[in-house]
Amino acid sequence: MSFKAKMQEAAKSKNSSIVLALDFPYETPENRNKVLAKAQKILKAVHPYICAVKINHHLVLPLGTFDGVQQLVEQIRGQGLLAIMDAKVNDIGATNQVIAEYYYSAGFDALIANPFVGWDEGLKPLFEVSQRLGRGVILLAYMSHKGANEGYGQTIIDQETGEKTLQYVSFAKKALKWGADGVVVGATYPEKIAEVKRIVEGKVPIYSPGVGAQGGAAETAVKAGASYLIVGREITMASDPAQTARRLNDSVKGI
């Protein structure tokens, strides 16, 4: 079963489209056990209201891939959720292949990658490893922060057509062409979500980060075409993470 299909199953089983971004503020290295305990506690509380968990360098750096993070991945999958590694893979192909092998060995179901590196000797090996192991690749198209336009919104020349186009439009087309399992478009830019949805023709699910702390609205993102909402600080920094996750999930049901 493809990662895309697994996500659909998890979302149906959990009746949720929320992907928890398990991010925390910086803690000194000696407090790494505190970080792990906090992550485990939040996962235990919110897992009924989410369908997947996204982990990035916030946890890999202090906890280690095959130590604390692998424990979290085992907990995530044991709760009927999928684990996504937000590595933003963006290096030469040989390096990307090794990155994928390590993270998939730790149990991750999918990786997020940056299309800027290109296909040949770029992301092709990542896709090949993912397909061989039955894992997924999610590509960035337009990030959620204010400076996203400087890179993802710049005007470029399409190598195939010779015509001017926008970088995120090119990336959305690559997600469709390369058979990506998802594409990231910030919830802070609902007009971009709607545009990317038209480009990928509904064949590539849209993952939208930036809900809450960055100003993105869950309902607006879903109405624009987001398939899954990536929510971090709005939940992890809340006084009651479970209640917040449930409220967010309830707010987009039926849209």
d(CA 222, CA 182): 15
Beta strands in the chain (DSSP E): 18-21, 52-55, 82-89, 110-113, 136-142, 155-157, 164-166, 182-185, 206-209, 228-231
The angle, 0 to 180 degrees and rounded to 10, between the axes of the packed helices 32-46 and 70-78 is: 10
**Does the annotation count 88 as an active-site position?**
yes
Tokens of 20: 């928890």
Which one from 6, 12, 14, 88 is the annotated catalytic residue?
88
Check if the beta carbon of residue 188 is closer than 8 Å to that of residue 215.
yes
Tokens of 95: 């390096």
Check if the beta carbon of residue 141 is closer than 8 Å to that of residue 186.
no
List the one residue out of 210, 146, 163 whose CA is nearest residue 184. Answer: 210
Check if the beta carbon of residue 139 is closer than 8 Å to that of residue 175.
yes
d(CA 50, CA 29): 29
d(CA 141, CA 165): 14
Bridge partners, 53 (sequence order): 20, 83
Check if the beta carbon of residue 136 is closer than 8 Å to that of residue 109.
yes
Mind telling me the catalytic residues? Answer: 88
